[in-house]
Each structure stands twice: as structure tokens, then as C-alpha cells.
Amino acid sequence: MIKRADHSATAYTGAGRWDQSPFAVPVVDPVGAGDAFAAGYLSGWLRDLPEQAALAEAACVAALAIQSPTDTAGLPSPAVRDRALAAYTEWTDAVHR
């Protein structure tokens, strides 16, 4: 896994390479974004999601984290994560916490 200064990430496995751009959200506090990204990725990986889906979840959890005033206030439940990810990737309704 490579995370870049522009907040994009790339994952490499024996099966290939996957890229993920950050989701454009307002930043309230960037503290905890990296940990949230790692948590989102590991959550997807542990549930055997495809690599691109795990990266998208990582970016989603990080995006939710930076919109909150504390390190952990933005960490989502699975339902909130799934709704936010749909909003970010499928342009569905707004996210409500």
C-alpha cells in the first residue's frame, strides 16, 4: 500500500494494482485520517472484499473522520459507512449521521 501527499492511495498485490483517489469533503480536522484509512481498508480486507472495494471503503472512512472535530467522532458504523460510500461513489442522497 502506498499513500501519497495528495491523499490518493495505491494497493499492490500479486493479482495487480489498484488506485483510489480521495473523496472531496470539507476538512474539519485531519487528525486521525491515516488511522481511519487503515481501519477502513482492514475492515474491507477482513470481509474479503475485492481490493478496489477495500480501498474505496478506506477512503470513505478517512473522509468521514476528517469531517469531525475529534479523532474518533467520525468513525462510522457499518450502515453509515455503506450509506456514505454509496453517496460518494454513486451520487446518491446526502450522508446523515
Active site residue 29: no
Q: Please state the φ and ψ torsions of residue 61, each to the nearest 5 degrees.
A: -65, -40
- Of the residues 19, 35, 48, 71, which is catalytic? 35
Q: Give me the half-sphere count of Cα atoms (radius 13 Å) on the Cβ side of residue 21.
A: 5
Catalytic residues: 35
